[in-house]
Structure 1
Amino acid sequence: MKPVLILAALLVVAACKDEQAAIPQPVAMTEDALGFYCQMALGEHDGPKGQVHLEGALAPLFFAQVRDAIAYARMPEQEAEIAAIYVSDMSHAPSWQNPGADNWVLAADAFFVLGSDATGGMGAEEIVPFSVRADAEGFAAKHGGRVVRLAEIPDAAVLAPVADQGADPDEDNYLDRLKAVSHKGNG
């Protein structure tokens, strides 16, 4: 009977190791990395980033904001199997402007500050990730918000439309400028 129990225990341990080995490692963010939604260079945007690894994909999808990576994973139309989600580890980031190319933490292991005054690279409210709870608590004390785990982030925080940050003076008179250009072409 004991050999059967030992064999069963070894199989469980081996299965756990296989499961851990199946999680892809994070990929360092290069100068060529583009945001999945915006198709803009990630290095041009401040704040933490995200990367989503899909089963069978050779490279991860990068996101200019953590909010966008979590939104991608939660969208109803997203059907691909997600192998891992990594987010910038702001506990080890040199600065907000430079979150680091290779300091990533699994989103499932991170502590997130939700509802702070921080905005991400695309101008939306950011959900700021940390590997160390005390760092997240310190950020929340300084910038507002509360510390949560990934499963506690409400869908509305990532799937709701981004609030308008105010009128863009370049777009205020867009129609007037179009009319002026079209009249010049007719004259």
Structure 2
Amino acid sequence: MKLHIPILLALALTACKEEEAKAPPPPVELNTAALSFFCQMNVLEHGGPKGQVHLEGYPAPLFFAQVRDLVAYMKSPERDAQITAVYVSDTGKAASWDDLGEGNWILANDAQFVIGANVAGGMGAPEIVPFGDAASAKPFLDKYGGQLLPFTEIPDDAALAPVDLSQTLETPS
């Protein structure tokens, strides 16, 4: 009987290790080769927060010139590969709207997002703006309005609703 206990403990420990989530792949720094998934335009040529989605079995992430586009991709039912990580720019740590920093990434599930603010993202549509925490989002909310939500609570219409091209949106400084 005493011999069975160490074997059972070893099996239980092995099962626990298999259930542990694999660490996400690290974010990839932005460079001139990064093209936005939907439009194939250079990501660095557009202001505002960016995103990247890592897919299992793919060597490079999908980049997005606007977080709104990343959210639209995530809400799309037509994805084949398993997502291993989703990163967004931490706007609270950015030098400016046009200089977010090449390596300024946080996991989307760890971020807070401003939706409904009167700001245009890199592609000109209303932007969903990520921040590392609620405190760093407060000055932005005070200036541009909107609502702060976690990634999992961003409503579909924040990314998938038609864009009113007659509206005047601000470009943060």
TM range, smaller chain: 0.7 to 0.9
Paired residue secondary structure (2:68) = helix
Paired residue secondary structure (1:78) = coil
CA contact (8 A) 1:71 1:158 kept: yes
Q: Which residue of 1 aligns with 2:170?
A: none
Q: Could you list the per-position Cα deviations for residues 49-82 of structure 1 after superposition, in whole angstroms to 9, with x for gaps in the alignment?
A: 0101111000001001001011111112223211
Q: Could you list the per-position Cα deviations for residues 157-177 of structure 1 after superposition, in whole angstroms to 9, with x for gaps in the alignment?
A: 1112222236xxxxxxxxxxx
Q: Which runs of 5+ in 1 are unaligned?
A: 167-187
Identity of aligned residues (%): 52
RMSD: 1.9
Query: Which of 1 and 2 has greater Rg?
Result: 1
TM-score, normalised with respect to structure 1 = 0.79
1:77 aligns with 2:99: no
Given candidates 3, 8, 20, the residue that maps to 2:22 is 20
Post-superposition offset of 1:135: 0.8
- Structure 1 stretches of 4+ with a deviation exceeding 3 A read 1-11
Post-superposition offset of 1:118: 1.5
1:117 aligns with 2:121: no
1:148 aligns with 2:152: no
Bigger proportion of residues as helix: 1
TM-score, normalised with respect to structure 2 = 0.85
User: How many residue pairs end up in the alignment?
Assistant: 163
**1:1-187 aligned within 5 A:** 4=8, 8=12, 11-12=15-16, 15-16=19-20, 19-21=21-23, 23-165=24-166
Q: Which runs of 5+ in 2 are unaligned?
A: 168-173
